[in-house]
Structure formats: C-alpha cells, structure tokens
Chains A and B, each alone.
Chain A
Amino acid sequence: MAKKVYHDGAVSGAKRIVDAALILLLVALCLVWVYPVFLILINSLKLETAISTTTVFELPLGEKFVGLSNYIYGVTQMNFLSSFSYSLIITVTSVLLIILCCSMCAWYITRVNTLASKLMYLLCAFSMVVPFQMVMFTLSKTADTLQLNTPFNICIIYLGFGAGLAVFMFTGFMKSVPLAIEEAAMIDGCNPLQIFFKVVFPILKPTAISTAILETMWVWNDYLLPTLVLDIKKYRTIPMAIQYFRGSYGSVQMGPMMACIMITVIPIIIMYLACQKYIIEGVVAGAVKG
C-alpha cells in the first residue's frame, strides 16, 4: 500500500506533535476496541459464584481463578464439537457451491445476451436489498417440503439466497474481461465447459476469493436461517447453540457461557490474523461492486 504524505517542505514540528497525539488517541481507542473480548476472557476463567454484574470487572485472582474448568463444562454441555462441525459443514458446502454455480451463471449471463440473462441479473441485484424477514416464513416452509432441512443439503437454500451478491460480484468483474482469449480457446477446439474451467475461472480467481470471504462471513455467523430451517433438537450451528444455551436455562451459568463465547471467538480471530490481507481486499472489492 503506497503511503501518500503531502506537506509543504520539511516535516514541521507541529505535524510531529499532531501525529504523536493521534497515535496516542488511536492506541486508546484500540484498547477500548479490544476490551469487550478481554472482559469475556477474564470472566471465563472465574469461579461461577464470583461472577456477577458488580464484580464483572475484577480480575480472576486467588481462589476465584478456576483455570479451564468452565471451558470443559461449557464444551460438553453445549455439545460444542458437534455444533462446530455442523457450522463447518454448512459453511464449506454452501460457499463452494455458491462460488462454483454463481461464477458459471455470471459467465453465462455476461456472454449470452438474451432477455433471460438480463432478467436474471436484475433479479439478483433486487434480491440483495430484500430483507430476510420478507421470505423467512415461506422459505422455511419450502425448505421443509423439499426436505432441504439438514446441514448436508441446506447449502441449496444458501445458494438460492446468497446468489444475488455472488452473481453481482462475478458479473461486475466479467464485464471487464476481454472476449479475445475465450474466442481463441474456442477456435482451438475447446467446448464451453473447457473454456470456462481452463480459461475463465483462473481469471476470476481474485473475485472468487473476495466473494468466498464475504459469503463465509455471512454463512458462518448466520443465525435466523438455520434456526428456521434446521431441526433445533437435532442440529445446532454455533450461533444457534449460543442462543439456545442462553435462552433455555432458568438461571444462565455465566462461566460456561462466557467460555463458549471465547471458543467461538478464538478461531475467528486466528483465521482473521492468518488471512487478513484477503479479508480486507474482499471487503473493498465487495464495496466497489455493490
């Protein structure tokens, strides 16, 4: 990223002071930003009786400290491992399906100029603005009728509801790809399938990564759609499990609850630090297309 600093002449003393003050302010803000997660972390290490709204800011010291016992209890109570695997299955299958089908669809509607293509494009753009509440009841009924209500085939619903953004992003990029390469491949005897997978898809790769990130952020954290479609007694994704854990107990056990929040947040933070560059590029790409 190119740094652009514009000022007249040498760095003046005033600018240096302003910069130092800004850095201090930003550091303070960063602490505020991180604090909520830190608070959950310290409380997840406390003895159950030591957690209350008045003592929530105290550090887990001395006999209040219980190590990882809240984590062990929370993981077994919440059945965290099965929730984690359901969330993982749903996210991976949905995102792969969305990327594959929507990139193919986007290529078709940019290269074939018919009324149907235009209509499909407009409907996709339209579907991005429609709030989920508009279709939630009828969608869950449709999913039940078609038996699309297990973690293994809910990806079809996600493809349908997530198609809008993906098709929109892929067509936005496809429009700037010159036809010449594809025509050359055609003359060399490739059929459309070969052209797509050998020529077009490699070009689409950066957009595919950006789209995959945006869709992953959505599917992984989605609460309402799986709640309405899946059978909550059999299958619970992570957001469903957290909500259920919180909502169904008479008195919520705060320690295990916070431990569960932490084990939900930690993988996300690790993922984020590992592929930060792609995530931020994905967000920017999504914004430019949107």
Chain B
Amino acid sequence: MENAIKKYWPVFLLPTLAAFIIGFIWPFIWGIYLSFHKFITVSKTTFVGIDNYIKVFQDATFVDAFWFTARFTLVSTILINVIAFMLALALTRGLKGTNAFRTVFFLPNLIGGIVLGYIWQILLNGILTNLGLPLLALDAKYGFWGLIILMCWQQIGYMMIIYIAGLQNVPGDLLEAASIDGATSFQTLIKVKLPMVMPSITICSFLTLTNSFKLFDQNLALTSGEPAKQSQMLALNIYDTFYARSGAQWKGIGQAKAVVFFLLVIGIALIQLYFTRRKEVQQ
C-alpha cells in the first residue's frame, strides 16, 4: 500500500511542497542570507558580516520596542489567562444563559486587528477626552493600557472557549471523589480541576504569549507607535525599519532585526512549553 501511494507523490505531496517552498522555505533562507548583507535592491547586495546585527542593538528604537513588547506580553498574558479561566469556571456551573454569554464573549475574535484597533481608538479617545486626559497618540502610557484593554477584549473569549473544553473534560468521578472526601469547592479547584486542565493552560498561555509578542495590526491601528515611536512594538518596529526609513543600510538592518525577532519568539515559545509541560499530569 505504501509503495502504491508513494508513486502518486506528484499529486499528493508536490502542490503543497511547491507552495511551501515559495511561501516559506525560500523566503526564510533568503531572509537569513540578506541579514548579513547591505542592499537597496535585492539584485545588488554587499556582504557586511555581522555588521547589521551590531547596528540592531545600537538602534535605541529597537531596544525600546523590545522592552515595550516584553512588558505588554507579560501583562496581557497574565490578565487574559486569569480572566478567561474565571469566566470558564463561571460558565461551567450550569448557569442560565451560558450559551448566550459564551457567544458574546467570543465575538471580538472574528473582527480583524485593523478594525478592532480603530474601534478602540474612537472609544478610548472619547473616554480620555471626557476625563480631560491627553489622547492615546500623545502619551505612551495610555497607548500601552489601550493595547492591553484591546487585547483582553479580543482574546479572552478565545481562551475561555479552550478552558471551557478543558474543564468539561475533567472526569466526573474525580470531582465526585473529591466531594465525598469533603473537599471544599476551593480545594477541588486547586487540587483537582487546575492540575487536570494543565494542558489547556499550556495551550492558552502559549497562544497568548506568542500572539502578544507578535502583535502588529492592532498596534498599527490603535497608536501606530505614537508618540515618537514610544508605543511601538517589535513587529511594527521591523516594518517601520523596512518601509519607512530611507537610507541604504536600513533594509539589511531590518532583516537582521527580523532574524533577532524570530529567535526571540522561538526562545520564548520553547521556554514556556518547557515550564508548563512539566506541570501536566498523565491521565
């Protein structure tokens, strides 16, 4: 059977493989190659060694963007997961209207980042003006919290759905055993439910961490880095380096930034998976 299928590889494997090479493998390898070069057009490149990488770390906007992104990722990951988990607990109690609540909380996920950004820009600027405070684009502090609120609004519903599925898979006999042994509902939560939904926590924290770290559309639409790049996140900083700065060196530096960004994402993802996987229990 295996050999019969193997003969059909041009039909089964080739289309995806070809597109994958065009859409991912080749741009990826070429990107690494270009990060060691200085260029304006890709047809004329000069090798500069690790020069671009040195300049990446000398670029203050990149370092600032890194810290902004790191703070944002930390705060949003914690807030989203805690709130989503609490909502999931509330919605697995068999309350009236559970489905309606779930529907409403999930809704913002389907709206794209650009549109979300503008919706919240209008709302938050309205609130800030009425409180007599500066607009979003004038103070990076409000830009930061605006992005946090937006991200919570968008992602909580998605994570809640995953937590609900996790909580519903906790075996009933475990909960029954706990209640016969006289466990309070708080003890059941900490000692039974939490360890049993650890796989969901792994997935949700992985998704929120990488989504927050890679955030682009929302950042562009809500503040577009204003004021003076102070609310710029890494993805937007890279985009800005490529397309908004003139000068022969910037494209190479932009590509080097992209490689650094990629390594950071991989690093964070691996560390996170290592720590949460350790806490998972075998069922």
Contacts and interface: CB of A to CB of B under 8 A. Distances in A.
Contacts of B114: 221, 223, 239, 242-243
A104 interface: yes
A163 B238 contact: no
Given A193-B8, A221-B112, A134 B259 contact: yes
Interface string A160-194: 11011001000000000001001100100001110
B221 to A, nearest CB: 7
B78 to A, nearest CB: 19
- Size category of the B interface is 35 or more
Nearest to B7: A192
A2 B164 CA distance: 12
Contacts of A136: 239, 242, 258
B109 to A, nearest CB: 7
Nearest to A185: B1
Interface string B78-98: 000000000100111111110
A130 to B, nearest CB: 6
Given A4-B175, A30-B101, A37-B119, A19 B93 contact: yes
A13 interface: no
B176 to A, nearest CB: 7
Contact of B107 (A23, A105, A179, A269): A269
A57 B95 CA distance: 33
Contact of A123 (B25, B34, B102, B220): B25
Contacts of A95: none
Nearest to B214: A131
A102 B105 CA distance: 31
A83 B239 CA distance: 24
Contacts of B103: 272-273, 276
A129 B211 CA distance: 10
7 contacts: A26-B87, A101-B19, A108-B5, A141-B42, A222-B112, A257-B118, A272-B103
Contacts of A276: 103
Interface stretch (A69-77, A204-212, A279-287): A279-287
A36 B265 contact: no
A66 interface: no
Interface of B: 1-2, 4-9, 11-13, 15-17, 19-28, 30-31, 34, 42, 87, 90-97, 100-115, 118-120, 122-123, 125-126, 128-130, 135, 153, 158, 161-162, 165, 168, 172, 175-176, 179, 200, 203-204, 206-207, 210, 214, 216-217, 220-221, 234-235, 238-239, 242, 251, 254-255, 258-259, 261-262, 265-266, 269
B125 A2 contact: no
A156 to B, nearest CB: 5
A113 interface: yes
A243 to B, nearest CB: 5
B225 to A, nearest CB: 13
A129 B210 contact: yes
Given A26-B97, A133-B258, A276-B103, 8 more contacts: A4-B92, A4-B172, A19-B95, A137-B251, A142-B30, A191-B4, A217-B109, A280-B106
A33 B105 contact: yes
Contacts of B255: 137-138
Nearest to B257: A133
Nearest to B25: A123
A47 interface: no
A157 interface: yes
Contacts of B31: 134-135, 137-138
Interface string A264-290: 110011011100100110011001101
A123 B25 CA distance: 9
Given A30-B104, A131-B265, A283-B161, A6 B176 contact: yes
